[in-house]
A and B are shown apart, each in its own frame.
Chain A
Amino acid sequence: MKIISLIAADSIRALLHQRLLLGLMLVSLALTIFFSIALAEIRKDITREYSDDRMAAHSATNQMNQTDLRKFRERMDTASSTTQAFFYGVASFGGSIVSLFIFSTAVASEIRRGTIRLTLSKPVSRTQFLLGKYLGGMVVMAGYALITSVTIFIFAQFQNVELNPAIKWAPWLMFCMQLMMGSLAMLLSLFMHPLIASVLAYFAGNGFYSLHNPLYYILPSYKDFNVFLKVLEGSLINSKDVIFLSLYAADFVVIMLLLALWRFRTKELV
């Protein structure tokens, strides 16, 4: 485990050296600002609309009737949820790109640069190396999920909006999805160019399989992890769903890593 941690720490250091995390934080910050402005504008529009049409009519009594008030709140909530969904949609897409980049190049770049020769000349097994690389990527993606969570929290506080119930699970589901995508990209990168591996890994999981199909548990399906769609569809996510999806992601990642280890153990590293 010590060796795996050392390799993971080295991977994180390499990624920090590429200023990747800094870039992620900047993107996240930019997203917050963008969606805060967007939400503020939408809320302003809705308020203005109500003020012009109906609220003026009730100004004499200085109160809205219950129906208008409910509609007004509904519209505000919908606008808020949609903005949150878009926020996470963009954050999730950005995270997926980062995840694909990290995992597809984790081993391939070490082979290309030749640094793997020195590492594996030490008492480091190929299994330890691969798992260390995956763990390093996992930590970086956890950091990304954390930044996104903090950002949405600040965003909610700043705009004084209530978070959509589905959004609360979004960072975790996003993290699970990125790990799945990453494990597939890592496996494919052991057979082909990292870029092709990334593209295939991204488009592989379009969720063509139902829960009753055994292939669902082996082949990727990212659809259920997409909070953006859930919020837009108005479907709720409960803790049971989250546990099931987490187990599904873990099952998928383990299968992909086992396949990657099988391939990596016999791969020529020059």
Chain B
Amino acid sequence: MAAIRIENLCKTYRTGWNRDETAAVRMLNLEVREGEIFGFLGPNGAGKTSTIHLLLNLIRPTSGTAYLFDRPVTETEIHHRLGYLPETVNLHDYYRGRRLLDFYAALCGVPANSRPARVTELLKLLQLEDAAEKTVSKYSKGMAQRIGFAQAMLHDPDLLILDEPTASLDPVGRKEFRDILLELKRRGKTVFISSHILSEVETVCDRVAILQKGELKRAGTLQELSADKSTKLIVKGLPALVLEALATTVAEITLLQGQATIRCPSEALRQTVEELLRQHRVEIMRKETETQSLEEIFFSTINPETKS
């Protein structure tokens, strides 16, 4: 079962006196599998937040449909399995931190007798214990972001939709956030992250989708998206005979301190080289697959002219 399934989704806004049409999302098709961390990327105005709002049923699609766990997003019941952290965390700021989480937990249907323990657990996890009795209006941006993350996790949802989750966090906070995400993944939860911080997405996401001007440009794992798929084979003690044989191929060979690194720019060449090494009983110490960084993939997608 897919955690998120989007089919031919379109969203057009009508603005101004002339009711001019602006397409925010165009024919979007996307599937997020259960248990994966999925990065949703795109420049400003790409339609990421609009897509999230469509998934949360805050806005209505112009056409197309979206499903969460195979149920239409219009069903409120499905929100029992959903946690959401918005880009700008606007909280009911007249509550104290603990009371706010208790209120949201009650809305999520967390039983009254287990609420205090759950709230305390999350306050501890997100380093907010000292601020628990403080009014939320006095929270810093980072603290608001943390309590926003806490409210999204209150009912231990199966799917977390996070819109720019680390925008207001310091490096320590980001590291803690990454650890929490990886723990959630380990527990089989699905996380859908929209973020501008590519290095972060690269570290935690299993798959990514890149959106531009409302259109899905690319989606897949980093390896699938990478244009550069060369492989490095590292071997020790390369005999001269083999070296000569390898020289006839287009593989690049670097020798350093008795260790040879053979770079194969294509899959076919890698197979040829491996076969050659096997024939001469040369053991491959390790293989390294080279892929483009997410940043390179991102820029080459949104602007194919860009040389990374």
Which residues from chain A sit less than 8 Å from chain B, CB to CB?
3, 6, 10, 13-14, 17, 113-125, 266, 268-270
Contacts and interface: CB of A to CB of B under 8 A. Distances in A.
Interface of B: 53, 56-60, 76-77, 79-80, 82-84, 86, 88, 90-92, 94-95, 103-104, 106-109, 148, 151-152
B107 A268 contact: no
A269 B58 contact: yes
B60 A118 contact: no
13 contacts: A6-B103, A14-B92, A117-B58, A118-B90, A121-B84, A121-B152, A123-B76, A123-B77, A123-B107, A123-B108, A124-B76, A269-B59, A270-B59
Nearest to B161: A121
A116 B59 CA distance: 12
Contacts of A124: 76, 79, 107
Contact of B103 (A10, A117, A121, A269): A10
B79 A113 contact: no
B76 A10 contact: no
Given A10-B92, A113-B90, A124-B107, 12 more contacts: A3-B107, A13-B95, A114-B88, A118-B151, A121-B79, A122-B79, A122-B108, A123-B108, A123-B109, A124-B76, A125-B76, A269-B58
Nearest to B108: A122
A270 B109 CA distance: 25
B94 A123 contact: no
Contact of B56 (A113, A120, A125): A120
Q: Return the 10 tightest CB-CB contacts between A and B, nearest first.
A: A114-B90, A17-B94, A121-B84, A122-B107, A123-B79, A125-B76, A269-B58, A268-B59, A123-B80, A115-B90
B151 to A, nearest CB: 7
Contacts of A269: 58-59
Contacts of B77: 123
B272 to A, nearest CB: 54
A122 B58 CA distance: 12
Nearest to A126: B76
A113 B86 CA distance: 12
A13 B84 CA distance: 24
A207 B304 CA distance: 68
Contacts of B86: 114, 117-118
A197 to B, nearest CB: 21
A180 B58 CA distance: 28
Contacts of B56: 117, 120-121
